[in-house]
Amino acid sequence: MHQADSLFGKGMYFEASIAYERVIFHSDSPVERVRANLGKVEALKQIGDFSKARNDLRRSLVFRGDDTLRLEILYQMAFCAYMDRASDDAYISLMQLRQNFGLTGQPRLYLLEGLVLADLGRWEDLREHLQLWLKGVQADSLMYRQTMRTYDEILEEGLLRADKDPEKARLWSTFIPGAGQLYAGEPGWGALNAFSQLAGLAGFGLLAYNGFYVASVVAGLGAFQAFYFGGIKQAGDLTSENMKSRLENLQTAIAHLLLDVSANYSD
């Protein structure tokens, strides 16, 4: 353990992870194996391998010794799952942790659960969680009201921006060229698509007027059809992409608020 801790302290995280694994393999003490596993997890976190850290933590879940170590195992499981973009698994670990240990006296657990709820888009649950958190740290009434008001404002504006239906965008573009892109918040793409369809129809009319009937169908109507159906698909795709981007912006704004709460309040 001394060698593993020394390597970790020198920033040699990969080498430290191997040294911790040797302790796990050779030690007869369950407590020492758990401590070594947690040390290895910290090393893996430093090199960004959260998936490997999660897998290694699973072998410590059967540990039934020191409650402090058991709490740390579940916390690290939740944290690594969140960082590994597996927020559903993170939430399950947090619920197990809450059931066994509660959250009182653990600001980092309040913060992590809030971040997980934001990642899952469980806004009402997050609102209740934030209220419980603020009341638990005895925030003064003015600060409490300001924080909750800020949360509601961020949420209302973010959901309003993200509340777009790709199917509705496609439907708009079916009947009005460019309208779906405008609905998605991309008026430039809408104008370009509408102009392209009009150009295709104009080409068809001009070629047909001059007696180039085959060319009018192939070049004129062909182009119009391509821009028409392509515009319908594009409207839906743009709406989906913009919704995802705006939802990520909302989650980021909420995460910043939660980090501010964590920085400013303490149990």
Where residue 216 falls among pLDDT bands split at 50, 70, 90? Answer: confident
Where residue 106 falls among pLDDT bands split at 50, 70, 90? Answer: confident
Where residue 139 falls among pLDDT bands split at 50, 70, 90? Answer: low
Judge whether residue 105 has pLDDT over 70.
Answer: no
Residue 176 sits in which domain range?
166-250
Over range 92-100, report the average pLDDT: 90
Question: Looking at this protein, which amino acid is placed at residue 35?
Answer: R
Is 194 a domain residue? yes
pLDDT of 30 reads 93
Is 123 a domain residue? no
The pair phi, psi for residue 170, each rounded to 5°, is: -65, -35
The pLDDT > 90 percentage for the chain reads 64
Is 190 a domain residue? yes
Distance CA 226, CA 146 (A): 52
DSSP secondary structure letter of residue 185 = T
Distance CA 172, CA 158 (A): 23
First to last CA, the chain: 33
Over range 14-28, report the average pLDDT: 96
Over range 234-246, report the average pLDDT: 90
Where residue 267 falls among pLDDT bands split at 50, 70, 90? Answer: very low
Residue 102 burial (10 A CB sphere; 0-12, 13-18, 19+):
exposed
Where residue 49 falls among pLDDT bands split at 50, 70, 90? Answer: very high
Tokens of 153: 């404002």
Helix 87-101 and helix 67-83, axial crossing angle in degrees, nearest 10: 160
Is 79 a domain residue? no
Residue in the block written with tokens 């109507």: 221
Is 80 a domain residue? no
Q: Which residue has the higher pLDDT, 17 or 262?
A: 17
Tokens of 257: 């608020």
Tokens of 210: 């001059």
Number of domains comprising the chain: 1
